[in-house]
Amino acid sequence: MQTTAAEKIFVKGNEAVAMAALEAGCRCYFGYPITPQSDIPEYLSRELPGLGGEFIQAESEIGAINMLLGASATGVRAMTSSSGPGISLKQEGISYMAGSELPGVIIDIMRAGPGLGGIDASQADYFQATRGGGHGGYRIIVLAPASVQEIYDLTMLAFDLSDIYRMPAMVLADSVIGQMKESVTPNSRPKTVLPPKEWVVRGRAEGTPQNVVKSLYLGDGEMEAFHWKMQARYQELADKESRWEEVQTADAELIVTAFGSTSRIAKTAISMAREAGMKVGLMRPITLFPFPKKAYAAISERCKLFLDIELSTGQMIDDVRLSVARDAEVAFYGRPPGAGSLPTPEELFEQIKKNYQACS
């Protein structure tokens, strides 16, 4: 890492993740190589040993997520990272972590799918991340950065939220954000007050209660009670932790909505539209779960036309539709993932024009 005069460093998104994890006090990393995120384990394999931490290249993504489960259960901060196929393999483990109320950070640098797909940027794993690709109807925290600085900051936030709400937290980005280099101010770990981890499995010393990390609930009504407890926690998350960015929405007649890398492309397209005299704004969810429903509802009181842009055939659009006012319209422009399919600002500008004209 070379630092500039301004203390900024110019790094890849993936490297920023690794740096932020270390700053957040993460001392255990378990992962399995997969493009386009392998810079993360590579960086940590260099840095963790010197910090007294543990780096394991697991035998598989399943090994990795279960090592994360084991480490998190003992109360340390730990992380794994992967991409599409590997994240699919982790679904059972994530479900167990959610069912065991375990924290733990999962980085998902999305690539094109389904199947082996390709290594190009994708947003087609939105459903998998936000709806729980695993069984049992749990949810996890999902944070969607749109810049290298933000992936740094959100990785740190993921550790805090995960500890506070006792559930896995995922940073959901794609190969644009993971491979892109930008200048980053390596912020130090925020002084968030974290709840004590009394539930930790670390040996049942005399006089302390037995701690058990488990997801098995067999007593009458126990599992149901767990679900309602989680439901309340999700609501609390929505109330306290919803994050989003609005750009020029105040006077907008068309609101583009997009997350992560697409929001970056959209921003330039919106500048082009503004230059062309169109009142266009951007609504970018930063937390995908909790989805900033209220913010969408509020915006849609004043602007009735949305254009949702995704690197998929449309997934977040469900959340947008379920959030906006009933009389709002949500148009869609999707470029499913794959080589040569990343939209350009010019292309999105055309879409904005088309929809803007349709409305006026």
Phi-psi region of 260 (alpha: psi -120 to 50; beta: other; left: phi over 0): left
Binding letters toward a copy of itself, positions 248-287, x by CB under 8 A: ----------------------------------------
Closer to ligand TPP by Cβ: residue 86 or 178: 86
Instruction: Quote the least distance from Cβ 212 to a copy of itself, whole Å.
Output: 12
Question: Considering beta carbons, is residue 83 or 155 the nearer one to a copy of itself?
Answer: 83
Both tokens of residue 64?
A: 């990795």
Tell whether residue 33 is a contact of ligand TPP (CB under 6 A): yes
Q: Does 7 bind a copy of itself (CB under 8 A)?
A: no
Helix (H, G, I), strand (E, B) or coil at 349: helix
Contact 124, 113 (CB under 8 A): yes
Q: How far is the CB of 311 from ligand TPP (least distance, A)?
A: 19
If contact means CB under 5 to 8 A according to the sort of partner, which of a copy of itself, another protein, ligand TPP, none does residue 54 touch? another protein
Among 28, 34, 288, 320, binds ligand TPP (CB under 6 A): 34
Note whether 89 binds ligand TPP by CB under 6 A.
Answer: yes
**In angstroms, what CA-CA distances link 124 with 38, 130, 180, 197?**
20, 11, 19, 35
Minimum separation from the CB atom of position 236 to another protein (A): 26
Inter-residue contact 197 to 213 (CB < 8 Å): no
* Type of residue found at 196: P
Binding-site partner at residue 145 among a copy of itself, ligand TPP, another protein, none, CB < 5 to 8 Å by type:
none
Q: Positive or negative, the Cα torsion across 110, 113, 117, 118? A: negative
Inter-residue contact 295 to 244 (CB < 8 Å): yes
Question: What is the nearest approach in angstroms of another protein to the Cβ of residue 230?
Answer: 18
The span of 49-57, 83-91, 313-321, 350-358 binding ligand TPP (CB under 6 A) equals: 83-91
What is the phi/psi pair of residue 80, to 5°?
-135, 165
Provide the minimum distance between the beta carbon of 191 and a copy of itself in the complex, in angstroms, as a whole number: 32
Q: Which residue has the tokens 């384990």?
A: 41
Of residues 160, 330, 344, 212, the one with CA closest to residue 269: 344
Residue of 39, 120, 150, 160 that binds a copy of itself (CB under 8 A)? 120
Residue 107, classed as helix, strand or coil, is strand
Give the contact letters, 84-113, x = binds to a copy of itself (CB under 8 A), - = no: xx-xxx-xx--xxxxxx---------x-xx
Give the CA angle between residues 275, 287, 349 to the nearest 5°: 20
Residue 312 to residue 259: CA distance in whole angstroms? 12
Query: What token pair was written down for 22?
Result: 């270390």
117's tokens: 């797909």
For 207, half-sphere exposure in the C-beta direction (CA atoms, 13 angstrom radius) is 0
List binders of ligand TPP among 204-263 (CB under 6 A).
none
Pick from a copy of itself, ligand TPP, another protein, none: which does 313 bind, CB < 5 to 8 A by kind?
Answer: a copy of itself
In the numeric block, the tokens 């090994």 are attached to: 63
Is residue 31 involved in binding ligand TPP (CB under 6 A)?
no
Positions 288 through 347 that interact with a copy of itself (CB under 8 A): 312-313, 315, 318, 321-322, 326-327, 335-341
* Residue 335 tokens, joined: 């470029």
Residues 187-226 close enough to bind a copy of itself by CB under 8 A: 214-224, 226
Smallest gap, in angstroms, from Cβ of residue 275 to a copy of itself?
29
Distance CA 266, CA 281 (A): 10
Residue 115 near a copy of itself by CB under 8 A: yes
The enclosing H or E element of 94 equals helix 91-99
Binding site for ligand TPP (CB under 6 A): 32-34, 61, 85-86, 89
Binding site for a copy of itself (CB under 8 A): 62, 83-85, 87-89, 91-92, 95-100, 110, 112-118, 120, 122, 124-128, 131-138, 214-224, 226-228, 230-231, 312-313, 315, 318, 321-322, 326-327, 335-341
